[in-house]
A = this chain, B = another copy of it.
Amino acid sequence: MSVSSFRSKDLTRATALVYSSYGRPTEVLKVLCHTLEPPSHDSVQVQFLASPINPADINQIEGVYPLKPPMTTQLHSSSSSFVSSPPASTPAAYSSNSNSGSSSNSSDWPPVAVGGNEGVAKVIKVGSKVGHLKVGDWVVMGSAGQGTWRSHGNFKAKDLTKVRSVEKMNEGADSFALDVVQLATLTVNPCTAYRMLRDFKKLSPGDFIIQNGANSGVGEAVIQLAKPLGVKTINIIRHRPGHEEVTERLKQLGATHILTDDQLGKLETKELVKSWIQNSEVKLGFNCVGGKPTTEMARLLSKNGHLVTYGAMSRQPLILPASLQIFKNVHASGFWLTAWNDEHSSQERQDMINDVLDFMKQGQFAEINCTRNRWSVTESDTSVLEEKLLQVVQKATSSGHGKQVFVME
């Protein structure tokens, strides 16, 4: 066997949605076909099973998200190719649709980043010094910015978190009913909800939390993770057509009470909430909306309450009357899971994932509402693949289509 044929047998054909400059995702994303070398001694090679498109992924590609994955040339080699014309080496030339600077020679290509931050993958090759991961294990990303919109990838083993052990699967001891989409959407929304319920206030059974955007991914996870803790939830949703159905869904997930945002700030709502909480306390508030409705939500917190902001869907800031902070001692903080992951160890991340998985295995988690979009890992016509994938991105960036997930098959 010649060296070259040995090597080529060891290479993995892969496809990835990459970008080399910031802009509209459907314009800057391209499919890059490439080959992966075997993983280095501390790395593993994985095949992705499912990767969602989250709002932060879109913001990241637009260049308006604080976490910007470094653009690299590590996927560029003589066997790599872009389906459409490769991106120009300068964003300016590229955005003007000039072909100057484009080249079929990979050494001329600009560095790229792979889109996506969340996903579940199966380990297919293991580096020589990796101890805790085996071929067949399922993993999720231990931190953001690694790029998950791809068929395959090599990752440092320490940057992955195991969600399903091949040994337990073989023993039949891990035959739980979680599907790939539940696992693929485990590390952002449920983990954000998990941390926010733990890191700001000690909650005991009977305590209340209040949240807006209650039908967001995090909001639904909060409802479902609060319930087994005995923590009651007051959930604010938008008053718009279909809010009755949303109310019904949230109640089925375990929501204790629902308010529509038009009820906020009214005296009767204050009285209603009082009648709900009685001698208990609203210890925590979760805010992903901002603006005046959030001020009114903050007023419903009990003394010493803590408002945690993790989003700003209204694009409005948080507005807090001084009296709420001075006399009622209401605290306001932010939460960003990306920072938490960076500041904590692999073991701490693994513990969190295991806890959330336990909830899921107990059937505490409803399936998320999403559209599953096939990413064919065997598609020979990669221009067809690019067209299909960009249609999915298009749906994810326009309203009314709900959450989109790539399912690699």
Contact = CB atoms under 8 A, between A and B. Distances in A.
Interface of A: 66, 290, 295, 309-312, 317-336, 339
A332 B318 CA distance: 11
Contacts of A326: 309-312, 334-336
A322 B311 contact: yes
Nearest to A310: B326
A317 B320 contact: yes
A283 to B, nearest CB: 15
Contact of A334 (B290, B309, B330): B330
A358 B5 CA distance: 82
Contacts of A312: 321-323, 326
Contacts of A330: 334
Contact of A336 (B66, B320, B327): B327
Nearest to A330: B334
B319 A317 contact: yes
A326 B327 CA distance: 25
Contacts of A324: 334
A10 to B, nearest CB: 41
Contacts of A318: 319-322, 325
Contact of A319 (B309, B319, B325, B333): B319
B334 A327 contact: yes
A377 to B, nearest CB: 35
Contact of A325 (B66, B322, B333): B333
Contacts of A329: 333-334, 336, 339
A328 B320 CA distance: 18
A321 B311 CA distance: 10
Contacts of A333: 325, 329, 331-332
Contacts of A323: 66, 312
Nearest to A313: B322
28 contacts: A66-B323, A66-B327, A309-B322, A309-B325, A309-B326, A310-B326, A311-B326, A312-B322, A312-B323, A312-B326, A317-B321, A318-B320, A318-B321, A318-B322, A318-B325, A319-B319, A319-B320, A322-B334, A325-B333, A325-B334, A326-B334, A326-B335, A326-B336, A327-B336, A330-B334, A331-B333, A332-B332, A332-B333
Nearest to A329: B334
Contact of A331 (B310, B328, B332): B332
Contacts of A317: 295, 319-322
A331 B332 CA distance: 6
Contacts of A339: 327, 329
